[in-house]
């Protein structure tokens, strides 16, 4: 099958029978729901750009497993060039949507599961790698969007999975059959699950032998019996119901999160990628986390480009663009944003092949990348809010602006530079509000903190990968210390 168009993708999701709940009600047609549709549009952009000749090199790659050109989001990295193009692709999509385009998690899961299953098979003689390659080529051939599910709800963080009062607080195998397994549990913060054809489930942390039932990885279609989603609430989400694209800020694109519940879901044997081999749970987690922390050096930078541009436009419209402190703040925002990009490119350029043949990033630099992402976007947002001014959060609604009596008053008193319409000034303010505080903040500001692991998770990996003993030996040698 050829690469899908954006419209074909929309229709393929429409044909699925996913169980979706929001605001206490079942959503009968998620594709057409005004709150959910912007998130679908963001994923659509990954299909639309892949159809454009000018973006073919970034958005697609030739699969060595099928010989066909596939969307890069289903590709297995074959070189450092692939890793670098991944980051550049993510920056492009961030620029085009100013939102989360949701396919990164599945791409990162693809590459983590690919190498982990290879090594598991080598030790245990299992067929997980063959299972995964079959699934992978199926997704490539059909140009599918795949969600990656790692984060369990975790319950009491001081207790291991098997020690929880409720055993379902980490997703687990509850039954093993000759033809497959039955799983129960839930995965949290599932970005893009709603807009995916398939879901890859992975363990959420390293595990010991007593957690065998929790060391499980598999893939199933999103509309499999027993799977349902509860959509997470976002700031300003119901503005999308008010028929005001101005008040939404970014009316076309967005993202949503879901609590995805697995209520005794059956997984056939040929869709299982890990089943009780606890020592490989941590390997899969570490590799996925590394790939996903690399991703943030691309997607967050692209969204940052839009926010910096919006802040500069606001300065123009406010009549403050020539002020030296405004120029300095825009320079600082650019410096921080490009530093994130440097990290994403660096960990890619320093990548190396795994035993299975696919390429993995430099894990230390990937974790440094994500550690910076937990800080720099917050400062970029702070500076954008500073430049925009208080109008960003105190402007009247579009309904007031369109009102016959109130509209002229708002137009008179909220105009900035006289050559710029009040409407345009309000529109740029709402875009900044959306990215800093509203629904897009889920995919930029707040997700920068906890997406791909909390700051402490990266610090643990930095300590593990930092090779402090080697650095100590360097110092001792130069100081002529003999022990």
Q: What is the per-residue pLDDT across 413-424, written as a single tens digit (0 to 9) for each?
A: 999 999 999 999
Q: Find the catalytic residue in 104, 139, 343, 369.
A: 104
275 has pLDDT over 70: yes
Distance CA 317, CA 408 (A): 19
For residue range 213-268, what is the model confidence (pLDDT) as tens digits?
Answer: 999 999 999 999 999 999 999 999 999 999 999 999 999 999 999 999 999 999 99
For residue range 321-345, what is the model confidence (pLDDT) as tens digits?
Answer: 999 999 999 999 999 999 999 999 9
Rounded average pLDDT over 115-131: 98
Distance CA 152, CA 288 (A): 15
Q: Find the catalytic residue in 119, 257, 385, 398.
A: 257
Residues sharing a CB contact under 8 Å with residue 365, sequence separation 6 or more, in sequence order: 343, 346, 347, 350
Q: Find the catalytic residue in 139, 299, 347, 369.
A: 299
Is 139 a residue of the active site?
no
Q: Find the catalytic residue in 117, 151, 191, 354.
A: 191
Residues sharing a CB contact under 8 Å with residue 280, sequence separation 6 or more, in sequence order: 116, 119, 120, 215, 274
Is 447 a residue of the active site?
yes
Q: Find the catalytic residue in 119, 277, 286, 447.
A: 447
For residue range 452-473, what is the model confidence (pLDDT) as tens digits?
Answer: 999 999 999 999 999 999 999 9
Q: Find the catalytic residue in 47, 214, 228, 296.
A: 296
Domains for the chain: give ranges and CATH numbers.
Answer: 6-279 (2.40.110.10), 283-474 (1.20.140.10)
Q: Are 209 and 278 in contact (CB under 8 A)?
A: yes
Residues sharing a CB contact under 8 Å with residue 459, sequence separation 6 or more, in sequence order: 371
Band of the pLDDT at 32, cuts 50, 70, 90?
Answer: very high
DSSP 8-state class, residue 79:
S
Q: Find the catalytic residue in 292, 341, 374, 444.
A: 292
Rounded average pLDDT over 348-373: 98
Judged by DSSP in three states, 61 sits in strand
Cα dihedral sign, 123-127-129-132: negative
Residues sharing a CB contact under 8 Å with residue 60, sequence separation 6 or more, in sequence order: 3, 50, 69, 70, 71, 72
Backbone torsion region of residue 106, taken as left when φ is above 0, otherwise alpha when ψ lies between -120 and 50, otherwise beta: alpha
- DSSP string covering 234-257: -TTGGGGGTT-HHHHSS-S-----
For residue range 195-218, what is the model confidence (pLDDT) as tens digits?
Answer: 999 999 999 999 999 999 999 999
Distance CA 101, CA 103 (A): 6
Structure tokens at 365: 């630099």
Rounded average pLDDT over 120-139: 98
Band of the pLDDT at 1, cuts 50, 70, 90?
Answer: low
Percent of the chain at pLDDT > 70 equals: 100
pTM passes above 0.85: yes
Is 236 a residue of the active site?
no
Q: Find the catalytic residue in 97, 100, 145, 398.
A: 100
Q: Are 218 and 183 in contact (CB under 8 A)?
A: yes
Backbone torsion region of residue 143, taken as left when φ is above 0, otherwise alpha when ψ lies between -120 and 50, otherwise beta: left
Judged by DSSP in three states, 170 sits in coil
What per-residue confidence (pLDDT) applies to 438?
Answer: 87
Is 296 a residue of the active site?
yes
Distance CA 117, CA 109 (A): 12
What per-residue confidence (pLDDT) applies to 441?
Answer: 79
**Looking at the DSSP assignment, which residues form a beta bridge with residue 176?**
181
What per-residue confidence (pLDDT) applies to 442?
Answer: 79
**Looking at the DSSP assignment, which residues form a beta bridge with residue 183?**
173, 265
Residues sharing a CB contact under 8 Å with residue 185, sequence separation 6 or more, in sequence order: 152, 153, 168, 169, 170, 171, 172, 261, 262
Structure tokens at 225: 């019996």
Judged by DSSP in three states, 241 sits in helix
Distance CA 444, CA 437 (A): 10
Q: For the chain, what's the residue count?
A: 483
Structure tokens at 227: 């799977």
Band of the pLDDT at 395, cuts 50, 70, 90?
Answer: very high
Give the residue among 236, 231, 237 at the shortest CA–CA distance from 25: 231
For residue range 33-76, what is the model confidence (pLDDT) as tens digits?
Answer: 999 999 999 999 999 999 999 999 999 999 999 999 999 999 99
Band of the pLDDT at 291, cuts 50, 70, 90?
Answer: very high
Is 191 a residue of the active site?
yes
Is 286 a residue of the active site?
no
| C-alpha 324: how far from chain center | 36
Is 342 a residue of the active site?
no
């Amino acid at each position: 099958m050829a690469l899908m168009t954006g419209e074909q993708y929309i229709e393929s999701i429409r044909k699925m029978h996913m169980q979706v709940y929001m605001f206490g009600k079942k959503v009968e047609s998620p594709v057409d729901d005004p709150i959910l549709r912007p998130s679908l549009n963001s994923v659509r952009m990954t299909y639309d750009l892949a159809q454009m000749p000018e973006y073919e090199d970034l958005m697609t790659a030739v699969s060595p497993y099928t010989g066909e050109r596939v969307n890069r989001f289903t590709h297995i990295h074959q070189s450092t060039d692939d890793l670098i193009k991944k980051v550049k692709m993510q920056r492009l999509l961030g620029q085009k949507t100013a939102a989360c385009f949701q396919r990164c998690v599945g791409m990162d899961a693809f590459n983590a599961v690919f190498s982990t299953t290879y090594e598991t098979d080598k030790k245990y003689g299992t067929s997980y790698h063959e299972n995964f390659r079959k699934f992978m080529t199926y997704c490539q051939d059909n140009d599918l969007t795949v969600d990656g599910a790692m984060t369990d709800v975790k319950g009491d963080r001081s207790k291991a999975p098997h020690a929880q009062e409720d055993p379902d607080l980490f997703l687990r195998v509850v039954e093993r059959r000759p033809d497959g397994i039955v799983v129960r549990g839930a995965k949290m913060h599932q970005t893009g699950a709603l807009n995916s054809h398939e879901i890859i489930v992975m363990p959420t942390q390293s595990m010991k032998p007593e957690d065998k039932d929790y060391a499980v990885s598999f893939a199933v279609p999103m509309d499999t019996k027993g799977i349902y989603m509860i959509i997470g609430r976002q700031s300003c989400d119901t503005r999308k119901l008010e028929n005001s694209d101005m008040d939404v800020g970014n009316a076309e694109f967005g993202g949503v999160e879901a609590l995805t519940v697995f209520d005794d879901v059956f997984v056939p044997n040929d869709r299982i990628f890990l089943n009780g081999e606890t020592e490989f749970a941590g390997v899969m987690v570490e590799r996925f986390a590394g790939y996903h922390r690399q991703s943030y050096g691309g997607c967050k930078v692209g969204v940052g480009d839009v926010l910096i541009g919006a802040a500069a436009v606001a300065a123009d419209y406010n009549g403050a663009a020539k002020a030296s402190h405004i120029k300095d703040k825009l320079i600082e925002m650019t410096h921080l944003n490009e530093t994130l990009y440097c990290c994403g490119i660096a960990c890619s350029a320093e990548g190396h092949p795994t035993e299975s043949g696919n390429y993995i990033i430099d894990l230390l630099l990937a974790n440094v990348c994500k550690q910076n992402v937990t800080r720099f976007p917050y400062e970029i947002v702070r500076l954008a809010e500073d430049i925009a001014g208080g109008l960003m959060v105190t402007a009247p609604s579009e309904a007031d602006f369109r009102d016959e009596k109130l509209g002229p008053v708002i137009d008179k008193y909220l105009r900035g530079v006289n050559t710029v319409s009040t409407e345009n000034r309000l529109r740029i303010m709402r875009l900044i509000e959306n990215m800093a505080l509203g629904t897009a903040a889920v995919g930029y500001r707040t997700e920068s903190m906890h997406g791909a692991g909390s700051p402490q998770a990266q610090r643990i990996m930095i300590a593990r990968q930092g090779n402090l003993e080697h650095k100590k030996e360097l110092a001792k040698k130069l100081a002529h210390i003999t022990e």
